Structure 1
Amino acid sequence: MSLNNKVACPMDCYDACQAEIIDENIKGSKEHETTNGKLCINFANLLKEENLKNSIFKQKQISLKESLDILVDKLKNTKPEKTLFYKGSGNIGVMQNATKNFFTQYGSTLTKGSLCDGGGGTGIEIGRGNVVNPPLQKLLDADIIVVWGRNFSVTSSHLYNLVKDKTFVTIDPVCTDIAKKSKIYMQINPKTDHELALLFTRFAYMQDLEDNEFIEEFGSGADWFFDVARNRPIVSYESTTGVPLTLVNDFFDLIEGKSVAIMLGLGVQKYFEGAQITRCIDSFAAYMGYHKKEAGGVWYLSDSAFGYKNQFETKGTNKKVSIPTVDFGSYDLVFIQGANPVVSAPNTQKVIDGLKKSFVVYFGTTLNETCEYADLIIPSSSFLSKKDVRLSYGHELKSISHVVKLKDENTISEYEITSFLIEEFNLEKLKTEDEVISYYENHKPILKDFDTFEFIEDIDIEPLYKEKKDDNFYYITGKSKNSLNSQFAKDDFVYLHSSTNFKNDDVVRVSSKYGNANFIVKIDDNIKSNCAFFFTGNKYANYLTPALEDEVSNSAMYQEVLVQIELS
């Protein structure tokens, strides 16, 4: 068997699968602990994708050379600060970062913040100093796994398979598959996760379960945190969170004396105060001492690049704009790499209106909804035809990708297009491709545990339930097992509980103060009755969301929304 037969899945998910070529077929790698010899449905779907094979200009097919000439001409005739570089997560291998090097040197406007995990990551970083998950072994050794706002068996199917025989507790407004397999399920009201964490802290104190050794050695501000938790009657938490106190009592009976892992999802932090919410949950875990046990801990979306030096980094004084608030129409040229903002960014109508006013270049492997508004489309080479390394944000393992398929001659890799543009504009050259790959393959970062933990001491979160009216629904989103964000199978329905009195296949108008759209109803009693649920990748859902940023991290806050629903 050839040694150059590895393939890393480039997609934006926790598991970071690695495959290998066996008898000319792509199979899950047995040497990669998480992949464990199996391919997930997302990787299988990726292998079936029909990739772009030709450049397109003004809806007409052109050669790759012609497309690059047009790009260079547009860049040379546009003020750098009036160009925007917008990179998505369609491929998150390390080599995809090459392109930013050119646009930084060229002087383009760049983005800052996140459409995904920024608020929660900032909250965890404030408490611990970094956003690094515990070693995978601590998850494997845990007795109880608390799945909090995360559809664990769907978003981390490989990780789940490693621990599927554990005892689970799920906290989520949606009764997901993992919730149905859980010993305890708490169907929480949206944007009350911080209140539940405070309630848990009260119970821990009442039952003498707090970890005083951890608090004395590592914790700062634990007393203040507990004061926040006890400043209201216990029974009030039951009414606001929707979680019965009896379930909380059952939870503590279950976890007492056990090692606990908390798998924290993105749903809890898609709000204006997302950092505070996540910090509250992490502070509860610290109060219990979970961070320093031999097994268990808290897992979030880890900083996969922690301990690595960006091999494409270059100095620049570029202007940066917040990614959820960016106005595409204020730029003369927008270069979009591996992204689908028409579906994935907040406030779809604003995105479309902006793209119509700019010259849009789309650089990616497949056509998507954003391509409708692109003037120039340049096909990126398939992940099977370029070297790469995939760092994981779900665990500490990395996946390696070799060239296992000849590149289509009309496509170009991220490294190649960057090198081409750098030469055209006489800028500082990149390190060689092999040098970059070798660094990431061979570098082993030292992931030091934190030395001190800062408990959250002051909480200022405005609950959505304070402004919710009887005819309002909480807007919530989640991952589908048949798609990955806006890739693969499309699901553009709104899911409602049967108690809403809507019927299957009703056409309804869903509206918020930010916009509106029509949807077909699907009745699903797994959805909490006060919620309107949409799968991520729903091409109409973001007509309802705000192009606003959270309080600390320049990140999107999709679920800071209440909606109304009426028959269309």
Structure 2
Amino acid sequence: MKQNRHVCPFNCYSNCSIISYVQDGKVQRISGDPLLHYTRGYLCQKVLSYLDVFYHPDRILSPLQQIPRGSGNWRVISWEEALGHIAGNIIKLTDDYGSFLPLCIIKNTGNLGLLHEAWNWFARSFAGGTSRISGTVCWNALVDAFYYTVGPCAPPPPEKMADSKLIFLWGVNPAWTSIHQMHYLEQARLHGATIVVIDPVLTVTAAKADIYIQISPGTDAEFALAMVYHLIQTSQIDVDFLQNKVEGWQEFYEYVTRLNPLELAAETGVPYKHIQRLADRYAAVPSAALWLGLGMQRYKNGGNNVRAILALTALTGHIQNQHLYSSNTYYGNLFCTEWDWMYSAAAIRKFPAYRLADSLQEATVPPIRTAIIAASNPLVQLSETTKLAQRLTKLDLVVVVGQFLSETARVADIFLPTTTWLEHWDVVPGYWHNWLGISEPAVQPRGQCLADIEIVTRLSTYLNALSPGICSFPVKTQEEWLQAVFTPDVLHSLQIKDYRELLLGPKEYKGLPQYITNNKFQTPSGKFVISTANLPVPQAARNSTAKAFPYRLLTPHVTSLLNSQFSNMAEGERACIIVNQQIAREKGLQSGKNVLLFNKLGEIKIKAFISNAVAPGVVYYYAGEGTEEGINKLIPSEPTDLGDCQCNDKGLALNDTFVDVAALVNFK
């Protein structure tokens, strides 16, 4: 059987390299690529079963038009009719409004392949600019916090975690969301490491840990500062490093020593003596590792939660050992995504992802009339989705690009079928390990499916046929686009001369700047930067909505899904909420019974289960096939404190959602 190489493009830590096996024009099976040393040839269950997705009977294989919108009455149309209709609509925008600003491109992280950025590149191909979504709802605050603190640099190879003697897993659940890293955690444990999990929920990872700290949600900064206070008071700090390599140390010292550690501990729900013991353990081990997940940064104070935790690594000097781990945008930024044919990014009208519904309403000069949505399912993934659906249905034209008729497709006029990673060329830079592979097509696209880059190319061709020169997007093959995005620096760091060498197997980046390179950090001052601004935001201020709606809603990732992707493969798993005994008693809830979950934005009916694995005052949402209405209708459009610098806009403070719950006796 013919073998082909691919890279998983989904929003996941592992960024796996994959081998497909093809016979008679059909993909027979897939396996992990053993040449990617990080994953060691293993794949998660989602990808192992991907052929079920690839050949799924519900996959859309031809362009569709829905008349009327929302009716479910779809008819097959040709690419010529679909693209002609879209191009004609875009041309009409200039006739009606004198600009392309009424066109909004909504492209998100459903596919991390670089060539799937084509829709954002398309937004830059019109004089005077278009409108587009900015930022994500995922990691903005964390990325900015790292950037301000240590500067732009490559993260350490996550395999190094196996060398640590003490590992903090803070707001991350790798047993579900980063399964390949569990191997290195177990290797560390075999060599005597202690694993500590800090999380509001007793996750599967927490259950496997040596020490589990059930922290009150959103109090990560208070917990870290209580540790810092104890380290200062007991002189367990690296004074020489702090005085010579840390910017802002003196101000931070004065700030921390004025705090009351008992009050900080009370906010976290963890006795101060336990925090002291953990701080002592952290300071005593020279090779302590710290992995910051995405959980603690999805609050209004999320960025400063991260910065407070990062300060710990400076106080003890642990940052010098490069054992600080997190998601990172550095690899993606190495590639070329700016070309002479693009119009200025300054002309783009940006709509923050965290408040897209309001942005669509507030845009009046000119208004948004057309939306193209790709690699995204905003009616499931963004905030205030009831309002967002209402805004989308008022537009003249909504186009959705995808493989299945998603929840968002229900409000679309036209659906354009796109290829999968088995059918096109692409490169996926990744954000965790330091390996890079390439995706080549294993088979011809199924039906009439086209790669996103091909759809954009054809659409630009239609536009220029109707109005010559109106769109600057160039005509290239997929392989020519790959040649264009690979920079000399990328090729040099991979020790290759051409991207096609990756067809022989993935390569490891070499020689990239680390946190400390040549005795300097990658910040403007060359020092580790600590800021006291907004550390910490008082808990009472953060929980101002809790008076009317007393419980905090947490919506972490689960192992069977990637956001809403793979939900049609969930094999009957239904969404539910989990609360502890305290809430159950207060509200008269019974485990396994249906409840009403609500706040000022709306309500959903959902089954509830009772478990003390969840912290008091927390409603934990477990995603499955979903509810008919969707949990995101309850999530307000609240921004995180950081995100503007590296992610173009602030993130969504998902974890600052407050709800109430009531028993439903007769609901089934």
**TM-score range relative to shorter protein:** over 0.9
Q: CA shift at 1:364, angstroms? A: 1.2
Moved more, 161-170 or 35-44: 161-170
- Describe the shift of the 1:433–1:336 C-alpha distance in structure 2 as closer, same or farther (beyond 3 A): same
Counterpart amino acid of residue 9 in structure 1 = C
Query: Is this contact kept in 1: 2:64–2:416, CA < 8 A?
Result: yes
After TM superposition, the score normalised by the length of structure 1 is 0.93
> Could you list the per-position Cα deviations for residues 186-240 of structure 1 after superposition, in whole angstroms to 9, with x for gaps in the alignment?
1000110000110111122233332234323321112222333232322222211
Looking at structure 2, the residues matched to 312 and 263 of structure 1 have their Cα atoms a distance apart, in angstroms, of: 36
The runs of at least 4 consecutive aligned structure 1 residues that moved more than 4 Å come to 536-539
Looking at structure 1, the residues matched to 117 and 480 of structure 2 have their Cα atoms a distance apart, in angstroms, of: 15
Residue 512 (structure 2) aligns with: 447
- Describe the shift of the 1:302–1:134 C-alpha distance in structure 2 as closer, same or farther (beyond 3 A): farther
Q: Which of residues 91, 109, 118 is equivalent to 1:76?
A: 91
- The 5 Å alignment of 1:78-157 reads 78-79=93-94, 80-106=100-126, 107-130=129-152, 132-157=154-179
Q: CA shift at 1:402, angstroms? A: 1.0
Residue 598 (structure 2) aligns with: 511
Q: CA shift at 1:536, angstroms? A: 5.4
- Describe the shift of the 1:337–1:469 C-alpha distance in structure 2 as closer, same or farther (beyond 3 A): same
Q: Which of residues 395, 402, 405 is equivalent to 2:433?
A: 395
Query: Is this contact kept in 1: 2:252–2:532, CA < 8 A?
Result: yes
Query: Is this contact kept in 1: 2:549–2:658, CA < 8 A?
Result: no
Query: Is this contact kept in 2: 1:97–1:312, CA < 8 A?
Result: no
Looking at structure 2, the residues matched to 470 and 339 of structure 1 have their Cα atoms a distance apart, in angstroms, of: 32
> Could you list the per-position Cα deviations for residues 416-472 of structure 1 after superposition, in whole angstroms to 9, with x for gaps in the alignment?
112212223243315553243245373537532323211022325142356644971
> Could you list the per-position Cα deviations for residues 75-111 of structure 1 after superposition, in whole angstroms to 9, with x for gaps in the alignment?
2222421110000211111110122222221332012
Looking at structure 1, the residues matched to 195 and 201 of structure 2 have their Cα atoms a distance apart, in angstroms, of: 15
Residue 532 (structure 1) aligns with: 619
Q: Secondary structure at the match of 1:25?
A: strand
Q: Which of residues 65, 72, 93 is equivalent to 1:57?
A: 65
* Higher alpha-carbon Rg: 2
> Could you list the per-position Cα deviations for residues 88-144 of structure 1 after superposition, in whole angstroms to 9, with x for gaps in the alignment?
211111110122222221332012222111122112212122364223343232222
1:404 aligns with 2:442: yes
- Describe the shift of the 1:375–1:17 C-alpha distance in structure 2 as closer, same or farther (beyond 3 A): same
Counterpart amino acid of residue 78 in structure 1 = L
Query: Is this contact kept in 1: 2:159–2:184, CA < 8 A?
Result: no
- Describe the shift of the 1:491–1:230 C-alpha distance in structure 2 as closer, same or farther (beyond 3 A): farther
The alignment of Structure 1 onto Structure 2 pairs a total of residues equal to 566
Residue 498 (structure 2) aligns with: none
1:268 aligns with 2:306: no
Residue 562 (structure 2) aligns with: 484
> Could you list the per-position Cα deviations for residues 324-361 of structure 1 after superposition, in whole angstroms to 9, with x for gaps in the alignment?
21234652111000111011001111111111112210
Residue 393 (structure 2) aligns with: 356
Residue 456 (structure 1) aligns with: 531
Moved more, 276-285 or 58-67: 58-67
Give the alignment's Cα RMSD to 1 decimal: 2.3
Looking at structure 1, the residues matched to 636 and 375 of structure 2 have their Cα atoms a distance apart, in angstroms, of: 23
Counterpart amino acid of residue 222 in structure 1 = W
- Describe the shift of the 1:487–1:184 C-alpha distance in structure 2 as closer, same or farther (beyond 3 A): same
Residue 517 (structure 2) aligns with: none
Q: CA shift at 1:544, angstroms? A: 1.3
Moved more, 555-564 or 489-498: 489-498
Moved more, 181-190 or 438-447: 438-447
Query: Is this contact kept in 1: 2:227–2:276, CA < 8 A?
Result: no
Looking at structure 2, the residues matched to 46 and 347 of structure 1 have their Cα atoms a distance apart, in angstroms, of: 31
Looking at structure 1, the residues matched to 307 and 550 of structure 2 have their Cα atoms a distance apart, in angstroms, of: 28
Q: Which of residues 429, 436, 439 is equivalent to 2:481?
A: 436
Q: Which of residues 532, 545, 559 is equivalent to 2:655?
A: 559
> Could you list the per-position Cα deviations for residues 386-409 of structure 1 after superposition, in whole angstroms to 9, with x for gaps in the alignment?
011111111222231111121124
After TM superposition, the score normalised by the length of structure 2 is 0.80
Q: Secondary structure at the match of 1:325?
A: helix
- Describe the shift of the 1:530–1:288 C-alpha distance in structure 2 as closer, same or farther (beyond 3 A): same
Query: Is this contact kept in 1: 2:354–2:638, CA < 8 A?
Result: yes
- Describe the shift of the 1:306–1:210 C-alpha distance in structure 2 as closer, same or farther (beyond 3 A): farther
Query: Is this contact kept in 1: 2:246–2:529, CA < 8 A?
Result: yes
- Describe the shift of the 1:29–1:504 C-alpha distance in structure 2 as closer, same or farther (beyond 3 A): same
Q: Which runs of 5 or more structure 1 residues have no equivalent in the other structure?
A: none
Counterpart amino acid of residue 103 in structure 2 = T
Q: Which runs of 5 or more structure 2 residues have no equivalent in the other structure?
A: 23-27, 67-73, 95-99, 189-193, 362-366, 494-508, 515-521, 644-649
Looking at structure 2, the residues matched to 171 and 120 of structure 1 have their Cα atoms a distance apart, in angstroms, of: 17
1:31 aligns with 2:35: yes
- Give identity over the alignment, percent: 23
Moved more, 375-384 or 97-106: 97-106
Looking at structure 2, the residues matched to 64 and 462 of structure 1 have their Cα atoms a distance apart, in angstroms, of: 55
Q: CA shift at 1:383, angstroms? A: 1.4
Looking at structure 1, the residues matched to 407 and 186 of structure 2 have their Cα atoms a distance apart, in angstroms, of: 37
> Could you list the per-position Cα deviations for residues 296-335 of structure 1 after superposition, in whole angstroms to 9, with x for gaps in the alignment?
1232344431332226682331211111212346521110
- The 5 Å alignment of 1:238-387 reads 238-255=265-282, 256-293=284-321, 296-310=323-337, 314-316=342-344, 317-327=347-357, 328=360, 330-358=367-395, 359-387=397-425
Counterpart amino acid of residue 348 in structure 2 = N
Query: Is this contact kept in 1: 2:423–2:444, CA < 8 A?
Result: yes
- Describe the shift of the 1:523–1:355 C-alpha distance in structure 2 as closer, same or farther (beyond 3 A): same
Q: Secondary structure at the match of 1:566?
A: strand
Query: Is this contact kept in 1: 2:153–2:513, CA < 8 A?
Result: no
Moved more, 368-377 or 395-404: 395-404
Looking at structure 1, the residues matched to 19 and 195 of structure 2 have their Cα atoms a distance apart, in angstroms, of: 32
Q: CA shift at 1:169, angstroms? A: 0.4
